[in-house]
Amino acid sequence: MLKGSEVMQADKIKLLENMADEHKLQAILTYSPVWRKENFRYLTRVNFFGPCAMVLYLAESREVALVLSAEWDKQRAENSLKNIADYILVEDNWEGLADFLAKRGVMNLGVSGTNFFPFGLSRSLMDKGIAIESADGYLEKVRLRKTPEEVEYLRAAVNLADRAFPVFMDSIAKGLNEFQIVAEVEYALKKMGAEDNFMLISTGGTDVFGMTPPQARVARQGHLVLTELTPQVNGWWAQICRTVVKGKPSPEQLKAFAMYLEAEEAGLAMVKPGVNIKDVAKAENDVFRKYGYGDYTTSKYTRVRGHGHGMHLDEAPTVNEDVDLVIEEGMVIVIHPNTYCPLTGYMVMGDPVVVTNDGYKILSTTERKLFEV
């Protein structure tokens, strides 16, 4: 098997071959816009910076070509990849790709990424008589289960979040506003080697209904400051969710946090292979129902009770009671019963876990408590 920089590894090429065989297609095209790079990076391990990038698999010749929208992306890929048959540039229009496929005799093409597929590209392919069929879902399903190597990338991302959390607390203690807190945290993460960071933050009390991008708010005594801290390492994203009190917590804040922690622990206790993800969500929600706050587990106040981790910020599966998916060994999931509570306002608590053969292992090391600064 190819190693290291000789990416487009044999196992990834085999995935594309299986996709083509399953759908009886002559070619598979995975389309990734710049804001949703995960499938391209999963298949190649190469980043790109142009508007889009695609991996093209030709079933008859079993060759792989890359379709790129910027010359600098082509040069970068050529320096990293050893077994790519062709590079196709589509800087100004889509005709080059359509002509390439037509010359290869491709008449039926499977597309992964149809939700993002440009109309102009579809039209240029159809003008050449090339039929387009959806191949969505195949790669996303494979990506649910992580290899040991991929788990280590996620573990490294969580490690950065753990190391950056004290910077977050120190910034609150210094009286910085949300913009400044995020700047301090991202600066620290980049110095530690993070490729990127996605961070939500909110400051306040019962007026806060959720986390947002940073604003100019400054924590006053008694305020909660909460965050989802999500660094990226080599394309892989993982997060921790924590809540901090400026000053001493009130009895209501302590009472509420105890409920959130109990809900997280109830969800974690359900995580093991063979359990349906909806039962994990139900275990979390049942804690809120027990204390009379079941209304705050609905979509009016919260979105998910957790989600997968991987090469997308909000990877499948979502942890909700209406999601029917059986947990398998090798999945990496963050369990977070984040929602609004009328006692305190929005509050968060969450940790990522890797599913083992008999349960789970938490990847984060940051203490699971209500922090004070």
Last residue of a domain, one of 143, 169, 198: 143
Instruction: Provide the domain limits for residue 66.
Output: 10-143
Report yes or no on 2 lying in a domain: no
Tens of pLDDT, residue by residue, the chain (373 residues) = 233 334 457 888 899 999 999 889 999 999 999 999 999 999 999 999 999 999 999 999 999 999 999 999 999 999 888 889 999 999 878 999 999 999 999 999 999 999 999 999 999 999 999 999 999 999 999 999 999 999 999 999 999 999 999 999 999 999 999 999 999 999 999 999 999 999 999 999 999 999 989 999 999 999 999 999 999 999 999 999 999 999 999 999 999 999 999 999 999 999 999 999 999 999 999 999 999 999 999 999 999 999 999 999 999 999 999 999 999 999 999 999 999 999 999 999 999 999 999 999 999 999 999 999 9
Report yes or no on 76 lying in a domain: yes
Last residue of a domain, one of 92, 113, 143: 143
Report yes or no on 3 lying in a domain: no
Pair 231, 83 in one domain: no
Pair 204, 336 in one domain: yes
Report yes or no on 269 lying in a domain: yes
Pair 173, 246 in one domain: yes
Tell me the pTM. 0.93
Pair 155, 93 in one domain: no
Res 1: pLDDT: 26
Res 4: pLDDT: 36
3-state secondary structure labels for all residues of the chain: CCCCCCECCHHHHHHHHHHHHHHCCCEEEEEEECCCCHHHHHHHCCCCCCCEEEEEEECCCCEEEEEECCHHHHHHHHHHECCCCEEEECCCCCHHHHHHHHHCCCCEEEEECHHHCCHHHHHHHHHCCCEEEECCCHHHHHHCECCHHHHHHHHHHHHHHHHHHHHHHHHHHCCCEHHHHHHHHHHHHHHHCCCEEEEEEEEECCCCCCCECCCCCECCCCCEEEEEEEEEECCEECCEEEEEECCCCCHHHHHHHHHHHHHHHHHHHHCCCCCEHHHHHHHHHHHHHHCCCHHHHCCCCCCCCEEECECCCCEEEECCCCCCCECCCCEEEEECCCECCCCCCCECCEEEEEECCCCEEECCCCCCCCEEC
Res 83: pLDDT: 81
Pair 137, 152 in one domain: no
Pair 197, 324 in one domain: yes
How many domains, the chain?
2
Res 180: pLDDT: 98
Res 2: pLDDT: 31
Res 8: pLDDT: 58
Report yes or no on 301 lying in a domain: yes
Last residue of a domain, one of 126, 143, 160: 143
